[in-house]
Chains A and B, each alone.
Chain A
Amino acid sequence: MKAHPIKAAAFLQNEARADWHDESLWFVRAKRDKAAHEIPEWEQLRELASQIKDHTLSRLDDYLEDFERHALENGVQVHWAEDAAAHNRIIQSILKKHRARRVVKSKSMLTEECQLNAYLEQHDIEVVDTDLGERIIQMRGEPPSHIVMPAIHLKKEEVGQLFHEQLRTEKGATDPKYLTEAARQHLRHSFLKADAAITGVNFAIAETGGVVVCTNEGNADMGTHLARVQIHCMGIEKIIPQTKHLGVFTRLLARSATGQPSTIYTSHYHRPRPGAAMHIVIVDNGRSKQLSRPDFRNSLKCIRCGACINTCPIYRRSGGHSYGSTVPGPIGSILTPGLDLKKYSSLPFASTLCGSCSDVCPVKIDIHEQLYRWRQIITREGHLPRTKKWVMKIAGSILSRPGWYEQAGKTARRLLRGLPRILVYAPLNIWGKGRELPPPPRQSFREWYRKNREE
């Protein structure tokens, strides 16, 4: 896989577009701040959410068993999948059993992670993604670039052109309202024809055996309540112990994600409707491995709100596709290396370690600290991307000698002031890419401190 900095550089080629992307995301981040500030107990809720998740992870096997027992009592069929391949096989066999050939799917990062669509298509099953953003990227044959806003990287002109080609909207039409209406008509058709509906899961309640799915469009429910078969796919970490915990998580989720006080629809599924079938597939796919790593297990507390992604200065200026992992941004950069450290070795470096991600995370995951810990492991195991290695080696030998450090700093400050930009942004300096360096100070902090102390 091409390393993150290379793809990020490609993204930055179009400066105006990178600025636009940056601003779109920052706008969402600002909405999140406003929503959070309206709740006086916000910090208390984050702490509670974090502790509830810690507790749940410490008894995860018990809660999963409770959950299954209650779901079975409710007449739901429960399946267990160790990995992506098992997940895909199970879904295909459910569909086969119910003679289902047409499937509608609402947003699920898990099915994305398992590459379900491609697998089903190979088995002659038609899958239509029904979240508008997901439908757009499905038509383009692209992966999502964000976990909450899958098509955030696209301009309305591009969507207009795509819809003109595939949904026969008017040429040159770019009005989001018009384009959304065209998708609505197109998707209604798919909903009415579908034999089965697949959804992701936001929360699975051990105490009741039910699952909760949150959407703004209502697409999950248009699917599940019209099709004969409904299938909900969940990672093992989606469990929460009791109904009362939904109060904590629903208050945090939408506010953190988009700044809304709630998603428009919060759907609670417990039993199939008469004459229909309901299945739940519980998936591990590397999660128990992550659970076994004391330094990284915290990442399993994630409720996929996307707040850390929206706030990340690197994500905003490199785009979701530059990460090459299903979940991009800070949280993706701590989850994905757990799956394949070598392949994703550049991701933990796609961060300034500014800590903004950890500050906004509604379940208080120490994201930037985990990024740092991955870096140490990657460096130790020798998976460091090549450019990083050079810069780090030089920095490493200098940092270990304080005298040299001071000298190197002096030299750099002098050099920077005189250097043409082309050199400051030369390929070896990865940090220079896409970021304007601040003008170098005439004095270093040390020099300043010394001078002021003496005075």
Chain B
Amino acid sequence: MSKKKMLSAIKTAKPPLSSMPAVPPFPTEQRPASEIFGAQAAQSGSRVLLAADFDGISQAIHFLYPQARCIASPLPQVTSGIELKNCEPSDLQAVDVAVLNGQLGVAENGAVWIAEEDMVHRVLPFITQHLVLLLPQDQIVYNMHEAYQQITIDEGGFGLFVAGPSKTADIEQSLVIGAQAARSLTIFLT
């Protein structure tokens, strides 16, 4: 009943039809997208590393997080300390480092798209203390327009752009890294 009433109120109230503008492509910069991506991500508090500088991801994780007790990952090259397929979302509160695949990077804001299938649990990229993403260098676009052309936002039931570690400035505008979700974001370009 409410629905009918609301829709008819809107129908009577709405202005005459105005046309839908086309979204044109915007010119992109000369520099390679991966270079801009690195600079932007660093500005938002992410750490961007080249996977090639390390002897495999597993070794890199242990080097970066020597104290981590629980590493969670669906990737074959990382030994997961928790059986992701057989646990409850709340079990993930013990995770120190989560290592996931990212699908696409966006240069203008340092954001990475993570698809639901790559998270295993939707809460994993948030509840983990530290988040590590692997991102193929050739999967970085310049801006959000290109990004939304490449991804399918309703492919999974949930999808995420993450552009840095969880942060807040709610106390006197002082920036604090590590609000409610992951305290750090490391991106390995592969």
**A residues touching B (Cβ–Cβ < 8 Å)?**
24, 27-28, 39-41, 44, 48, 51-52, 54-55, 57-61, 64-65, 68, 74, 80-82, 86, 130-133, 136, 149-152, 154-156, 159, 176-177, 179-181, 184, 187-188, 191-192, 205, 208-210, 216-219, 221-222, 224-226, 236, 241, 243-248, 250-251, 254, 258, 260-273, 282, 284, 288-289, 291-292, 294, 297
Q: Is the CB of A41 within 8 A of B172?
A: no
Question: Are B148 and A133 in contact, with the CB atoms below 8 A?
Answer: no
Q: What are the 5 A-B residue pairs with the smallest beta carbon separation, nearest first?
A: A218-B181, A271-B157, A292-B13, A225-B123, A133-B170
Q: Is B26 an interface residue (CB 8 A)?
A: yes
B45 to chain A, nearest CB (A): 9
Chain A residues whose CB sits within 8 angstroms of the CB of B168 once the complex forms: 132-133, 180, 216-217
Chain B residues whose C-beta falls within 8 Å of the C-beta of A151 in the assembled complex: 170-171
Given A150-B170, A156-B172, decide whether A262 and B181 contact each other with a Cβ distance below 8 A. no
Which residue of B6, B156, B176 contacts A80 across the interface (Cβ within 8 Å)? B6
Q: Are B2 and A82 in contact (CB under 8 A)?
A: yes
Contact B14 A266 (CB under 8 A): no
Closest to B175 in A: A176
Q: Which residues of A contact B21 (CB under 8 A)?
A: 48, 51-52, 55
Among candidates B154, B165, B176, residue contacting A270 with C-beta atoms closer than 8 Å? B154
Q: Are B11 and A217 in contact (CB under 8 A)?
A: no
Whether A192 lies near B23 (C-beta < 8 A) is: no
> Are A216 and B179 in touch, CB under 8 angstroms?
yes
In whole angstroms, what is the CA distance A64 to B6 when docked? 10
Nearest-Cβ distance from residue A294 to partner chain B, whole angstroms: 7
Residues of A within 8 A of B123 (CB): 221-222, 225-226
A-B contact pairs, 10 of them (CB 8 A): A54-B15, A180-B176, A217-B179, A221-B160, A224-B122, A236-B10, A246-B153, A247-B144, A261-B110, A265-B163
Enumerate chain A residues within 8 angstroms of B106, measured Cβ to Cβ: 262
Residues facing A in B95-138 (CB within 8 A) are 106, 108-111, 121-123, 126-127
- Give bound CA distance, A294 to B123, whole Å: 44
Q: How far is the CB of B133 from chain A (nearest CB, A)?
A: 13
Is A284 within 8 A of B9, CB to CB? yes
CB-CB < 8 A to A226: which residues of B? 89-90, 123, 127
Closest to B171 in A: A176
Q: Which B-chain residue is minimally distant from A293 (CB atoms)?
A: B13
CB pair A176 B176 closer than 8 Å: yes
A217 to B117, CA, bound (A): 23
CB neighbours (8 Å) of A81 from chain B are 2
When A and B form their complex, what is the total count of cross-chain residue pairs whose Cβ atoms lie within 8 Å? Answer: 258
Which of A155, A222, A254 contacts B180 (CB under 8 A)?
A222
Q: A265 near B13 (CB under 8 angstroms)?
A: no
With A41-B26, A60-B14 known as contacts, the answer to whether A262 contacts B90 (CB < 8 A) is no
- Contacts A41-B27, A269-B158 aside, 8 further interface pairs with beta carbons under 8 A come to A41-B26, A59-B17, A82-B2, A132-B170, A177-B174, A225-B158, A244-B148, A269-B157
The answer to whether B23 touches A244 (Cβ under 8 A) is yes
Contacts of B9 in A (CB 8 A): 284, 288-289
A241 to B26, CA, bound (A): 20
Residue from B16, B23, B179 within 8 A of A219 (CB atoms): B179
Docked-complex contact A262 and B109, CB < 8 angstroms: yes
- Cβ distance A420 to chain B, nearest Cβ, rounded Å: 37
Q: A260 to B45, alpha carbons, bound, how many Å?
A: 11
Interchain CA distance A405-B160 in the complex, whole Å: 61
CA gap between A210 and B156 in the complex, in Å = 11
Asked if residues B165 and A264 are in contact (CB atoms below 8 Å), the reply is yes
Q: Say yes or no: B170 contacts A246, CB within 8 Å.
A: no
Report Cα–Cα, A282/B5, bound state, in Å. 13
Contact between A265 and B2, CB atoms less than 8 A apart: no
Nearest CB in chain A to that of B174: its residue: A176
**A272, B44: Cα distance in complex, Å:** 30
**Chain A minimum-CB-distance residue to B10:** A61
Q: Which residue of B lies closest to A38 (CB)?
A: B108
Q: Closest approach, in angstroms, between the C-beta of A223 and any C-beta of chain B?
A: 9
B189 interfacial by beta-carbon distance below 8 Å: no
The closest CB in chain B to the CB of A270 belongs to: B154
Decide: A251 and B144 in contact? CB cutoff 8 A: yes
Q: Which residues of B in the span 8-32 have a Cβ within 8 Å of any Cβ on A?
A: 8-21, 23, 26-27
Please indicate the chain B residues that have their CB under 8 angstroms from the CB of A243 in the complex. Answer: 148, 153
* Chain A residues with CB under 8 A of B176: 176-177, 180
Which residues in chain B, 61-86, are within 8 Å of chain A measured between CB atoms?
Answer: none
B145 to chain A, nearest CB (A): 4
Q: Which of A132, A187, A260, A272 contacts B171 (CB 8 A)?
A: A132
Which B residues lie within 8 Å of A260 (CB)?
Answer: 44, 109, 163
Please measure, in the bound complex, the distance between the C-alpha atom of A243 and the C-alpha atom of B163, giving whole angstroms. 19
* List of A residues within 8 angstroms of B93 by Cβ: 188, 192
CA distance A294 to B148 in the complex (A): 33
A180-B26 Cα distance, complex, nearest whole Å = 39
Asked, given contacts A151-B170, A264-B166, A265-B162, whether A289 binds B144 with beta carbons under 8 Å apart, the answer is: no
